[in-house]
Structure 1
Amino acid sequence: MRAFLAVFFCASLLGGCAGKSSDPSGTWINQAAIDAATEGGNLREALLAYGPNLEWRIQPQRQLATYSNGFEQGEGRLLGEAGKGWRVDFYADHHEYLSLSGDQLLQAASDTWPEQHFARPATPAVANAPLGGSFEQALYGAYLGGSWTIMQGLGEGGLVLFQPDGRVEGLPGTERYALCLAGDCAAMSGESDSIWLQLAEQGQTWLFERDDQHLSIFTALNRAQSDEMPDYHKGELHWRLERTSH
C-alpha cells in the first residue's frame, strides 16, 4: 500500500518521477534564435523571428515558471495538465502552455506569436544566475566568439576577443560590451543593431553591422532633442573587424 501511495504521489507532481525526459526543471534557452542570429543579418530581427521569449526557468517544486525576452521578465504559476504538459498562469488571465518533445521544451503557439523551441544550455546555468544570463552567454559565444582582427580604426592590426561573459579584450578604450536584444535600446536605434561599449564606469552606445566574417562598428548619432528619447542613426565607421578564427 505504501509503495502504491508513493507512486501515486510522484505521478501527481507535475508529471511525476518519470526521469529527465519528463522533467522540465531548470533553465532552457532559445537556441533556434541564436542559430538564426549567427547566420548574419539583423540581430534583433532574428531574435524576434524565433522569439520573443529567449529563456525559461522552470521550478516545479515551487510551481513557478519565469521567462526573459531580453528586456522584460515574467513570472507565473506552473500547473500540470494531464497528458498535455504544463500551463503557466500569469496576471490578467494570461496563460502560456509548455510541453516536452524529446530534448526540447516547447512553448505553444498563441494569437500573439508562433510556437517557440527551447533547449538546455551547453554550459549549465550557474546557481542564482540572473534570468536571461544563460541565453546571453550562449548568444555572445556563438555570435561574437573567436578571434577578430582590427582591419580599420584605432588599434589597426590588433587582436580582439569578445568573451561570453561580456568582457572584451583588445578593443581600444573598451573592457566590457553588451548587445541590445530588445526594449528601450532597440527603440532608440530603430532598424539598426546596437552595442554598448564600456570602460570602467563610462560607456556609450554604438551601432553595428555583422556578417559571419566582418563586424563594422559605427558612431551613433543622436538626432533627438535633449528632452526626447535618444534617436540613434549610423554615423562614421569607427572600427571594421575581420574574424580570423571561430
Structure 2
Amino acid sequence: MLQLADPFPPVVYFLHTILGTVGVLLAVVALAGVKGSSTHVRAGWGFVAASVVAALTAVAFSVTSPSPLAVASALMVLALVSSAVLSLRPMSASIKRAEWAATATMGMAWLILAALGAFALALATGLAAPPPEAEVPPFYVLALPLLYAAFPTHFLLDDRRFRRLGADRATRAYPRHLSRMAFAFAIAVHAPVVSFADDLQFSLYVAFFGPFLLWPAILFALRQHPRLRARGSDARPMAPV
C-alpha cells in the first residue's frame, strides 16, 4: 500500500487522494441538491475543506517532484473556493482584505503560468536552450501553459469587475459563487484525469482541457435557477456555500 505513495510522503499522498475524491463527491451532492438547503450548504463546506487540503498537499508534492502546472492549479483552487465563499458575504473591511488575498493567490497562479509560457516561447524561438540532454518539446506542448493562463486571466478580470460593483455586488453574488465553485470542481476532476491520461489513452489536450468543459456545462445546466437570475435590490447574499 505504501508503495503507491512513492516518492511522496505517505500521509500527504493519501490525504490528497482520499480528500480529493471525497471533495469531488461532495461537489456532486452540492450541485444536485436544492440550493440553500442544509444538504447543499454542508456538502459545499465539505467540498471547500477537502479542496483546500488537496490543494495544499499538491503544493507539498512539488517539493519532492517539481510541477509548476500542478502548483498553479492548486493556487487557483485556493483562490476560487475562498472567493466563492466571500462573494456571498456582506462587504466589510475584513471581507475586502480576504478578497484581495484571494486575488493575490490567483495572481500567483497567473505568474507561474506566464513565466512558463514565456520560457516556452523562448524555447520555441531559439532564444533559450533546453536543459542538457533534453530536446525542445513540440510547439503544442510548449503552448499549453499560455493557454492554461487564460483561466486565471478571466478570474482576475472578474475580480476587478466585481469590486467595481460596490453596493451592487449582491446582483452578481450567486453567478460568481457558482462559476468559481464549478471551476474548482473542474480542476478537481482534471487532476486525476491528467495523472492517468496514459492509462486512459487520452491525448495531452483532451486529458488536460477536457475536464474543464464541466465548467460551462454546469453554468448552462443551472442558467435558469432563480438565484442566478436575481437582479436589483431583490438580490440578496445566500447562506454560505
Bigger RCO (CA 8 Å, 6+ sep): 2
State if a TM-score over 0.5 links the two structures.
no
Range into which the TM-score falls when normalised by the shorter chain: under 0.3
Q: TM-score, normalised by structure 2?
A: 0.27
Judging by fraction of residues, say which structure has more helix. Answer: 2
Kindly name which structure, 1 or 2, has the bigger radius of gyration based on alpha carbons: 1
